[in-house]
Structure 1
Amino acid sequence: MRTAAVTGFGTALPGPALEQAAVWDRRFAGHLADDRVARRIFHGAGVRRRHAAVNPLVEDVSGWSTGRRMRRYAAEALPLGKEAVGAALADAGLRPEEIGQFAVVSCTGYGTPGLDIRIAADLGMAPDLQRLVVGHMGCYAAIPALGAVADYVVARGRPAVALCCELTSLHVQPPSDDLGQVVSHALFGDAAVAVVVEPGEETGLEVVDVAAVTDPTTADHMTWDVTDLGFRMGLSPEVPRVLARHVRGLVTGLLGRHGLTVGDVDGWAVHPGGPKILDTVGERLDLPGGALDASRAVLAERGNCSSATVLLVLDALRATGRPRPGRAVVAMAFGPGLTLYAALLRAA
């Protein structure tokens, strides 16, 4: 039976890293009326620095129309996406014309012709390339996209690329006392991450299985609404409690289908939606100390980059030698719905 494996990673980050303290002092302290609760949330978000295509210390986009933000997205996302895809192809040792499918994931910007067409053309991918756009699913979208391109690779026997390109800095909202907005402004950063998936299991990370669960009774707990002033996130403090109800069943079910337990997993790439999210996952799965260090490090150095984040964590794990040959890694992310997605991968 043919298999599919992740064989290349590529990352592109816009501009120099912004220090969290400076972002608060020089931008959001005034934006949020220097509220003490807002300050505590901002400095307790687990973020030390992050990158932004639209530097909040230089530009105030909070009054921009959605149309203006989308035009800026098109200008900023194209070079970032090309850099990430080019790096992933180089890492895998492939040429652009060898790719059979190209998937682009984003919930922060749209346009047609979109990144899928423009990046493919600029890099020289083949005219018969199959393209897929995954839009507005939110932070978990990398995993269903990875599942989709892996299915293509298994079915067609050709390599594929998935790109997550998220520019959350475009969606700063007008001043508000909504604490959900404070959390959003404190957490999110920008990044583009691409992965190459190829037939075979001799190298890389084999994509073994994907699982999901959605709790529609909590659909209002996490939202991402298109407004006249960009995209506005809604966040409920109840999100960690909902995750606590579902995360163990999702993970043990996924592992159990393959004769594995939580203790058999050699690496955890968990989307760092915030410190409480990681604490909840660690507690519910009874993970050993340090199991989520890669997730915490990505949150600290990059922030929450929406769909791109779980791939950043997976690449960070890879850099540490995890998972070891023949061992498993679980990648997991969460988002609107309220939805949990998980992928089981195994190192060659």
Structure 2
Amino acid sequence: MDRNAIIAGLGISLPPSVVQDDVWNGFFARRFADDRRGLARRIFANSGVRTRQAAVNPLLEDVSEWSTERRMRRYQVEAAPLGKEAVGRALTDAGLAADEIGLFAVCSCTGYATPGLDILLARDMGMAPSVRRLFVGHMGCYAALPGLGTAADFVVAHGQPALLLCAELTSLHLQPPTTRMDIQQIVSHALFSDAAAAVVLTPGDASSGYAGSSGYAVRDIAAVTDATTADHMTWDVTDLGFRMGLSPRVPKVLSVHVRAMVDDLLGRHGLTIGDVDGWAVHPGGPKILDVVQERLELDDAALADSRGVLSAYGNCSSPTVLLVLDELRRRPAPPRRVVMLAFGPGLTLYGALLETSRVAV
């Protein structure tokens, strides 16, 4: 096998779970007048989400009128232990100590502070003072894949392990009710959830001392941004937290670009869609998955794990595609070749090609 970064460990950490129907009945239903409640209820019911996680549970605590400053302070309180748990599990899964990590990258679009998670967790986990750090902010749902690509590049270039953490607390950005029916906010509140996921990457070449890992090799990363549709998905910093804009036209834009991007990614390695036996697709919502399935001509089984993650965990922004990858690798017979896909502001599509050492050449 040529030089590759290997995903040697993966760790997940989740806040307490809440039932979607309970959140609707106990909180969101009373935010709408009678003539608007029916539509909002249908949006929640058709979201594909059955349970999700909330570091800040609206059934216990309504943060919708909180200032952004107050939300950011709470982010540090909640995100640090969540990230620490995910990092610890990933390191254990990889069989590495924290002080062996050469690069620590953190992706998050739901909270900011300095010193941030990269500094605090590097200190608390016992990483070396010389560890390189990178914070990737405000990329949204697709951030895990450029983060993965950057970490993999570091591993190949420097022959040292890298660690990527994606941590999001979307529950902190509950927006106050408005006098009009804001469909985009209803969809956002129906879909989004909290999670942290961490990945350890190690060198795959035999001389590195890390050879023998049974994880996936990161073979390639691809990206396409359609800047003409930049207003279709937004994440604005306001005085009352971060406010999402989510156009119903997003699936149509993805339908235009996803097939060409995947064909190009695979074609660079002499592969076609038929050569892929694992699909880790970010479940941005049911319509997103429907479009990807249709354009790539996949059967229902191909996206079963993505739909299962959406149902069980909701859309957790950047960690979500890693949750899907974790489901794939835990199968009794894990796929040998995986394509990861994630989408977000830009509009941007990202893809990654992973292969086990048995097929990487």
Report the TM-score when normalising by structure 2: 0.94
Q: Which residue of 2 aligns with 1:3?
A: 4
Amino acid at match of 1:224: W
2:249 maps to which of 235, 238, 247:
238
Alignment of 1:105-254 (within 5 A): 105-176=107-178, 177-200=181-204, 202=212, 203-254=214-265
The answer as to whether partners of 1:221 and 1:236 remain within 8 angstroms in 2 is yes
Q: Aligned equivalents of 1:259 and 1:14: distance in 2?
A: 42
The answer as to whether partners of 1:267 and 1:322 remain within 8 angstroms in 2 is no
Identity of aligned residues (%): 67
Q: Please state if 1:33 is matched with 2:33.
A: yes
Structure 2: which 5+ residue stretches go unaligned? Answer: 205-210
1:320 maps to which of 315, 318, 331:
331
Q: Aligned equivalents of 1:111 and 1:282: distance in 2?
A: 39
Q: Aligned equivalents of 1:2 and 1:337: distance in 2?
A: 32
Q: Which residue of 2 aligns with 1:341?
A: 350
Q: Which residue of 1 aligns with 2:15?
A: 14
Amino acid at match of 2:226: D
Q: CA deviation at 1:322?
A: 5.7
Q: Which residue of 1 aligns with 2:207?
A: none
1:278 maps to which of 289, 300, 308:
289
Q: Name the SS of the counterpart of 2:8 in structure 1.
A: strand
Q: CA deviation at 1:32?
A: 3.0
The answer as to whether partners of 1:323 and 1:346 remain within 8 angstroms in 2 is no
The answer as to whether partners of 1:213 and 1:340 remain within 8 angstroms in 2 is yes
Q: Aligned equivalents of 1:245 and 1:321: distance in 2?
A: 35
Q: Name the SS of the counterpart of 1:307 in structure 2.
A: coil
Q: Aligned equivalents of 2:231 and 2:300: distance in 1?
A: 33
Q: Which residue of 2 aligns with 1:85?
A: 87
Change (3 A) 1:199 1:40: same
2:103 maps to which of 88, 101, 104:
101
Report the TM-score when normalising by structure 1: 0.98
Q: CA deviation at 1:33?
A: 3.3
Q: Aligned equivalents of 1:183 and 1:321: distance in 2?
A: 35
Q: Name the SS of the counterpart of 1:2 in structure 2.
A: coil
The answer as to whether partners of 1:223 and 1:234 remain within 8 angstroms in 2 is yes
The answer as to whether partners of 1:4 and 1:198 remain within 8 angstroms in 2 is yes
Q: Aligned equivalents of 1:124 and 1:135: distance in 2?
A: 24
Deviations 1:109-145 (A, max 9, x none): 0000000000010010000000000000000000000
The answer as to whether partners of 1:240 and 1:280 remain within 8 angstroms in 2 is yes
The answer as to whether partners of 1:209 and 1:343 remain within 8 angstroms in 2 is yes
Amino acid at match of 1:233: M
Q: CA deviation at 1:323?
A: 4.3
Q: Aligned equivalents of 2:294 and 2:32: distance in 1?
A: 33
Deviations 1:55-79 (A, max 9, x none): 1100110000000000000000000
Q: Give RMSD over aligned pairs.
A: 0.9
1:51 maps to which of 50, 53, 63:
53
Q: Aligned equivalents of 2:65 and 2:274: distance in 1?
A: 49
Q: CA deviation at 1:220?
A: 0.5
Q: Aligned equivalents of 1:280 and 1:320: distance in 2?
A: 25
Q: Name the SS of the counterpart of 1:47 in structure 2.
A: coil
Q: Name the SS of the counterpart of 2:140 in structure 1.
A: coil
Q: CA deviation at 1:289?
A: 2.3
Amino acid at match of 1:254: L
Q: Name the SS of the counterpart of 2:165 in structure 1.
A: strand
Q: Aligned equivalents of 2:88 and 2:13: distance in 1?
A: 10
Aligned positions, number: 345
Amino acid at match of 1:334: F
